[in-house]
Structure 1
Amino acid sequence: MHTNEKRRIPAGVRLFHFSEFPVMQVRDLRRRFTALFRENGFESPELEADFIISEVLHVRGLELPLRDPEMLTGTQQAEAEGFLRRRLAHEPFQYIFGWTPFRELDLKVGPGVLIPRPETEFMLDSVLKKLPRNAVVCELGTGSGAIALSLAFERRDLTLYGSEISPAAFHWSELNRKAVNLPNVHFFQGSLYDPFPPGMKFDAVIANLPYIAEEERPQLPANVRDYEPSEALFASDHGYALLEQAIREAPAHLKTDHAQLFFEIGETQGKRLLDFIRREGFFTNAEILADQYGVPRQLFAERC
């Protein structure tokens, strides 16, 4: 994890200093930031610049161009430069700003926790439709708490229990739980099913566990590879280790009637996991569901 912002700036980049420009309009800042992002090979330099300036001005979408004639304050300019430095080093915007939208919630995120993905948001559509009323659900590896909190927020009849082994990630899940302030969500620190109350049986288990193979690390984008926690991304046995462990241990923690399992998986992992579930024998039906892009992304299983 990077800690020194100045050291992270790519070699050869010259950052202007706001002392050189004591009074600057929003439009001027947008132009200068766009030029810097373009010089450093960012695919969408205008968007990169606008993301930063929108955050500093607390505006969204089409409102930013309307602010072009305004003068920035010294505090705003200094904050913008700090954001720029971090982004030029490919740090994720979500870490830079300290939050990310996820479905109907704005969640706090930062170093040490996985940034929730749009694919996971989409997965919850099918989860919400399939979960029975008043279900008690456990989430393994809750991270920021995005899945558990969204389910509990959108379905107040559900009760959610989430586990998280990483102390850093657990910190973020607790911050979000307190901010959302729902009585039907409970988080515990520990691995997989271990920290849940002894003897508790759940109607369903849901998880977005690490499933990327270590050998795929070099192919990941720099903003993921260099900043997000490895323990939330990679798993041994070509990415299958934690998924198969969670499936194997599920029967001891699920009710025997109409139990359900929802796991986010890698796009090439479906066949092996379906075969594994069938060999284990607890679930009677299993299938792979596609995400919004048509990519196989969710393992769904149930015991009828």
Structure 2
Amino acid sequence: MTPILAGTTIAAVMQRAPVEQLEARMLIGHVTQLTRVQLITQAERAFSDAEATQLNTLFQRRVAGEPMAYLLGEREFFGLTFKVDPAVLIPRPDTELLVELALQHLPQDGRVLDMGTGSGAIAIAIAHTRRDAQVTALDVSESALLVAQSNAQNNQVEVEFLRSDWFTALAEQVAEQQFDLIVSNPPYIVADDRHLSEGDLRFEPIDALTDHADGLSALRIISKQAADYLSDDGWLLMEHGYDQAEAVRDLLKQDGYTEVQSWRDLANIERVSGGKKSRA
């Protein structure tokens, strides 16, 4: 890749960028803080030394395959902007289904628990849409929680964040910690899945992608323990892999949930499964 030199114009860089044109425009806009329209109207604007250095680095990282979301430091999800870095998974459109279902199943003034919150995307999207809700989010990663807390502040919502290995932080207060809804997008990729070594997944936190086993370990834990923290008629909703719906429905049925079902995403894939806690 030929280095970009200070004094080179935006138009010249666009002509010979080593990445796709849309990505080049996004990266140049990120470096220069210019809008898409400004990049056109100021096409003859020259890069400074600092801008040229930064853009060279970004182009090199993108050519190496690093996700655009990490390069730009943010990703849009459910109409909101989230900061992301390699400590958290990149929010994906597929997961918006989980948020939509959560909003449908959440009663007025309800309490929600988000397990393995990562960037906080699910919890924050719910809290932003339903200002009446009380939202708690857990994650075992301190780095992820720092990102999530920043995102909650930037999106002006109140979410209680706790560091916890699944339900551990709540275990001593089971009676006081009752939720109307528990949601989770846990690690569910099988340990030897080839996708872990392809595309964006190569750069995302491995422990947030896979359980290093059959892909169902975290789903089993959540399904088995969630009922202790759900109020009567409360719902558990979990995102899972494209081929795991039947197995997850079986888990939910074995653990005593009722009205067990799966919902399909925009690609017509069964992406979320859930069930209701029966009354005692």
Query: Same fold by TM-score, threshold 0.5 exceeded?
Result: yes
Deviations 1:10-41 (A, max 9, x none): xxxx33241xxx422211011121xx23xxxx
Q: 1:161 to 1:52 in 2, by over 3 A?
A: same
Look up the equivalent residue of 1:177 and give its one-letter code.
A
Are 1:246 and 2:230 counterparts?
Answer: no
Look up the equivalent residue of 2:183 and give its one-letter code.
I
Shift of residue 231, structure 1, vs aligned partner? 0.3
TM-score by length of structure 1 reads 0.84
Percent identity between matched residues is 27
Partner of 1:32: 16
Partner of 1:5: none
The more displaced of 247-256 and 119-128 is: 119-128
Matches within 5 A, 1:1-304: 14-18=1-5, 22-33=6-17, 36-37=18-19, 45-61=20-36, 64-183=39-158, 185-196=159-170, 198=173, 199=175, 200-217=177-194, 220-225=197-202, 227-256=203-232, 258-281=233-256, 283-303=257-277
Please give the secondary structure, in 1, of the residue aligned with 2:102. Answer: helix
Shift of residue 220, structure 1, vs aligned partner? 4.5
Structure 1: which 5+ runs fail to align?
1-13, 38-44
* Separation (CA, whole Å) in 2 of partners of 1:73 and 1:237: 49
Deviations 1:257-291 (A, max 9, x none): x211111111100111111211211x211111011
Deviations 1:74-105 (A, max 9, x none): 33222211211211111112212222222232
Q: 1:132 to 1:220 in 2, by over 3 A?
A: farther
Shift of residue 59, structure 1, vs aligned partner? 4.1
Answer yes or no: is the 8 Å Cα contact 1:290–1:298 preserved in 2. yes
Answer yes or no: is the 8 Å Cα contact 1:123–1:291 preserved in 2. no
Q: 1:170 to 1:74 in 2, by over 3 A?
A: same
Answer yes or no: is the 8 Å Cα contact 1:152–1:160 preserved in 2. yes
Structure 2: which 5+ runs fail to align?
none
Q: 1:245 to 1:87 in 2, by over 3 A?
A: same
* Separation (CA, whole Å) in 2 of partners of 1:75 and 1:237: 45
Question: RMSD of the TM alignment (CA)?
Answer: 1.9
* Separation (CA, whole Å) in 2 of partners of 1:302 and 1:67: 56
Deviations 1:175-219 (A, max 9, x none): 223333423x10000111221371311111000000000110456
Shift of residue 119, structure 1, vs aligned partner? 0.8
Shift of residue 244, structure 1, vs aligned partner? 1.1
* Separation (CA, whole Å) in 2 of partners of 1:79 and 1:49: 13
Answer yes or no: is the 8 Å Cα contact 2:258–2:275 preserved in 1. yes
Deviations 1:112-145 (A, max 9, x none): 2111111112431232122111110101000011
Answer yes or no: is the 8 Å Cα contact 2:259–2:275 preserved in 1. yes
Shift of residue 303, structure 1, vs aligned partner? 3.4
Shift of residue 67, structure 1, vs aligned partner? 3.2
Look up the equivalent residue of 1:141 and give its one-letter code.
G
Please give the secondary structure, in 2, of the residue aligned with 1:263. Answer: strand
Shift of residue 147, structure 1, vs aligned partner? 0.6
Please give the secondary structure, in 2, of the residue aligned with 1:133. Answer: coil
Aligned residues: 275
Please give the secondary structure, in 2, of the residue aligned with 1:203. Answer: strand
* Separation (CA, whole Å) in 2 of partners of 1:146 and 1:204: 16
* Separation (CA, whole Å) in 2 of partners of 1:234 and 1:119: 17
Answer yes or no: is the 8 Å Cα contact 2:231–2:277 preserved in 1. no
TM-score by length of structure 2 reads 0.91
Look up the equivalent residue of 1:206 and give its one-letter code.
V
